[in-house]
């Protein structure tokens, strides 16, 4: 899940929480392959941004940590 700390006119946390489908783009088609190659070359460093997998029971605490800004991770993964 992605958590946003600052509003840009659209409350993106509501989009995430309500599972709203929002269609748009964040990259141009010719930039995506280059971005994926850069990400692959930085895989070890990027892994440091992803929290170790948690259970669904741990998810509420992880969510609160993310939205309060207390987590140093950018992403959380559940293993269930």
How confident is the prediction for the chain on average, in pLDDT? 83
pLDDT at res. 6: 63
Dump pLDDT digits (tens) for 53-78: 999 999 999 989 988 988 888 888 89
**pTM of the predicted model, to two decimals?**
0.48
Query: DSSP letter string over the chain?
Result: ----SS-SSS-HHHHHHTT------SS-HHHHHHHHHHHHHTHHHHHTTBPPPB-GGGHHHHHHHHHHT--S-SB--B--
Cβ(51)–Cβ(73) under 8 Å? Answer: yes
* Across 21-27, average pLDDT: 71
Domain locations in the chain? 12-68
d(CA 36, CA 76): 20
């Amino acid at each position: 899940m992605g958590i946003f700390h600052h509003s840009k006119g659209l409350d993106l946390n509501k989009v995430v929480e309500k599972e709203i489908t929002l269609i748009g783009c964040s990259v141009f088609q010719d930039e995506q392959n280059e971005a994926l190659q850069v990400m692959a070359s930085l895989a070890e460093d990027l892994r440091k941004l992803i929290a170790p997998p948690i259970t669904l029971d741990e998810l509420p605490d992880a969510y609160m940590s993310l939205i309060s800004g207390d987590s140093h991770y950018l992403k959380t993964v559940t293993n269930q």
